[in-house]
Amino acid sequence: MPAGRFAPSPSGDLHVGNLRTALLAWLFARSTRRSFVLRVEDLDRVRPGAEQRQLDDLLALGLDWDGPVVRQSERLAAYDAAVQALADADLVYPCFCTRREVQEAPTAPHLPPGAYPGTCRDLTDAQRDARATARPAALRLRAAVTSWTVHDVLHGDVEGVVDDVVLLRNDGTPAYNLAVVVDDAAQDVDQVVRADDLLTSAARQAYLASLLDLPQPTYAHVPLAVNVDGRRLAKRDGAVTLADLGRDRAWSMVVESLGLVGDTPAELLESFDAAAVPRRPWTVLG
């Protein structure tokens, strides 16, 4: 069954901006008769106890999900299989660049700052052997395009940059862009609702899905929650988590920010209109 999803990283407690995105993802999915699934993206930093607190906060808001919670740390074989499929198609190459080298390298005219310029793409075997003595290699995608277009419910058709994204880091950890594509397909996710700071990642992910013969989802990138200085909201901004605010206060803040009225997600669903979702960042005053 087609699904929407929420996929938090257990690096800390969810703040009201995260809870707002989770509620929107639930409303988008339920209003379009999709199932709603939950995935814990735990390949990076994991704070002990954070996952359970996040799940408890979602339940406290009245959100439910279908099927078991999926954890990326339990799906390493699926990511390895995807990388192998790309390697078999000669679409993978080793990269020895450090993050600083990527940031400081001259960027090709068609790429934005920070995009990978292809430094290791055409190294000879001898050059690769020499660089491998200094540091282990990450694996990158050998992209055949420089842009890709995705459809976003709130932003329309968006053409984004595609570069040679990392598939496996040099410690063997699957990279975000690979894992999210493989997982969305495995969970039948065809509707991705998430914060709009990830809009620039959508083209890379949709292109990667096409190479793996996986469905490309429809997106809805919703505005971020920001502090009074216009920076993305964080725990350092004070009382911004459900534990800090209490369930009723957190619920009231999130619902009012969306221009909705109701005491439960089910009540909100009765009048939810995706076209009316605010397009501007939500400034959280606390």
- Domain CATH for 118: 3.90.800.10
Residue with tokens 């800090």: 244
Average pLDDT over residues 249-255: 96
Q: Which residue has the higher pLDDT, 184 or 117?
A: 184
What are the distances in angstroms from CA 229 to CA 47, 233, 239, 246? 27, 10, 16, 24
Is 16 a residue whose pLDDT tops 90? yes
Is 210 a residue whose pLDDT tops 90? yes
Region of residue 6 (left: phi > 0; alpha: psi -120 to 50; beta: else): beta
Task: Choose the final residue of a domain: 168, 197, 213.
Answer: 168
Structural contact between residues 101 and 74, judged by C-beta atoms closer than 8 angstroms: no
Mean pLDDT of the chain: 93
Which domain, by its residues, includes 275? 3-72+223-283
Q: What share of the chain in percent tops pLDDT 90?
A: 80
Say whether both 68 and 100 belong to one domain: no
pLDDT tier at 164 (50, 70, 90 boundaries)?
very high
Say whether both 28 and 52 belong to one domain: yes
Say whether both 56 and 25 belong to one domain: yes
Is 4 a residue whose pLDDT tops 70? yes
pLDDT digits (tens, 9 = 90+) for 215-232: 999 999 999 999 988 888
Say whether both 35 and 52 belong to one domain: yes
Is 153 a residue whose pLDDT tops 70? yes
Say whether both 67 and 81 belong to one domain: no
- For residue 106, the model assigns a pLDDT of 66
pLDDT digits (tens, 9 = 90+) for 136-149: 999 999 999 999 99
Say whether both 146 and 101 belong to one domain: yes
- In this structure, what CATH number is given to the domain that contains residue 264? 3.40.50.620
Say whether both 58 and 88 belong to one domain: no
pLDDT digits (tens, 9 = 90+) for 77-115: 999 999 999 999 999 999 999 888 877 776 666 666 668
User: By three-state DSSP, how is residue 120 classified?
Assistant: coil
What is the distance of C-alpha 198 from the center of its chain?
6
Average pLDDT over residues 172-184: 97
Average pLDDT over residues 230-246: 85
- For residue 130, the model assigns a pLDDT of 83
Say whether both 46 and 81 belong to one domain: no
Say whether both 82 and 152 belong to one domain: yes
pLDDT digits (tens, 9 = 90+) for 258-277: 999 999 999 999 999 999 99
- In a domain, residue 213? The reply is no
How many structural domains compose the chain?
A: 2
Catalytic, 235? Answer yes
- For residue 237, the model assigns a pLDDT of 73
Q: Which of 121, 231, 235, 279 is catalytic?
A: 235
Say whether both 100 and 34 belong to one domain: no
- In a domain, residue 192? The reply is no
Structural contact between residues 188 and 182, judged by C-beta atoms closer than 8 angstroms: no
Is 286 a residue whose pLDDT tops 70? no
| DSSP secondary structure of 152-182 | ETTTEEEEEE----EEE-TTSPBPHHHHHHH
- In a domain, residue 98? The reply is yes
